[in-house]
Structure 1
Amino acid sequence: MIPISPASNPSSRWHKPHEEEFRISDPRTNDRIRVPEVRLVGPAGEQVGVVRIEVALRLAQDADLDLVEVAPNSKPPVVKIMDYGKFKYEAAQKAKEARRNQANTILKEVRFRLKIEPHDYETKRKRAEGFLQAGDKVKAMILFRGREQQRPEQGVKLLRKFAEDVADLGTVESNPTIDGRNMVMVVAPHKNKSEAKAEQNAQRAATKEAARQARSTPDEPTPAAAE
């Protein structure tokens, strides 16, 4: 490999290639990529093709960017020219946001009786759908009475029906299980809290805009007025 002299480019990314930030789980970058040739992807995602590692390093250096190994197991390995520091920062922010969304997710509870009336079931289902639309998980619980505990298959049947009825908004995270005198199942929303909130805000904005346009549109004259 042709060594790249720090004097030719004073950028700190090349004579100190993230040494203080390096972790075993991190991808190889810059001079740590020690293979004869690579499949190069440019900074805008363009496919450059298979080139010698020296060429890839020089192109990255000329752009004052990093060469990052994104697919080490490919033959040859795939590398991309990018700002690795910015990439790591954005990845950390996304991970932080995902943790925040997970922490903000609330487990709501909906309780059923084994012999529930249809209208009561519909009320419970609609309540659960509201929870899921808001980005919260739903804990569906069946409360067994007396000998009903001897018919757990009926509880499973009811919970599976419930899961099918709300499938457009959530998916089963934990299958029906016995918990003391009860049977529980958890349904997780398809959208997290932030996505659900953004969607709700967009719907409110669209409703307000439609109302504003309706107010600003003059009424059409009646036939009598037109005469």
Structure 2
Amino acid sequence: MIRIREVRVIDDEGQQLGVMQTADALALAQERGLDLVEVAPTAVPPVCKILDYGQYKYEIQKRERETKKKQKSQTFKEIRFRVKIDTHDLATKTRRASEFLDDGDRVKVTVQFRGRELNHPQLGRNLLERAAEMIGDHGVIERPPLMEGRSLFIVMAPPTAKADRREEEAAPSDGAAADGGGETIGDALQTKGQVPEVADEPPAAAPA
């Protein structure tokens, strides 16, 4: 309820109606079958707008959902494996990764090396490939294998996040694939005997 005696009014077409008695502004809104909503309560006098409050509230909630979705798309979850992980644990962790991806999160899938295992990075690549295959259609590989200290990792993203990112990027160079579905597991993990790239640093209210 608006308790101020005078308010500055904007009508439903965006026209400035000037400063009015609150009672007159309410009457005008009611004549049009709309509501008088305070949109700038700290202004002097407060600014009110004649509008459909239900639609106004819906638009605010829609923007909030979009903002949260964008923020969420930037967050990372992580699952970690040892090179010698057993089949049951691998299935459990990849299932968890799939759940994260279904919720819209990016997932960092990491293989940690111990001792002399570091001399055999192919073991880590093989495990990452197996994990990505188990995750399947729940996600796509956004970043290929990367060494970070004693760990090798990939980043997987929900398929829709990958598609959105590709749309925002510049047009692909000549000869680039244009399938729109992101890298396949084989494309991303086929290092052909090369040493994995080394990382420079770890990845990073309703109105009154």
TM-score category, normalised to shorter length? 0.3 to 0.5
Q: Which has the higher contact order (CA 8 A, sep 6+)?
A: 2
Q: Which has the higher helix share?
A: 1
Kindly name which structure, 1 or 2, has the bigger radius of gyration based on alpha carbons.
1
Which TM-score applies when normalising by structure 2? 0.44
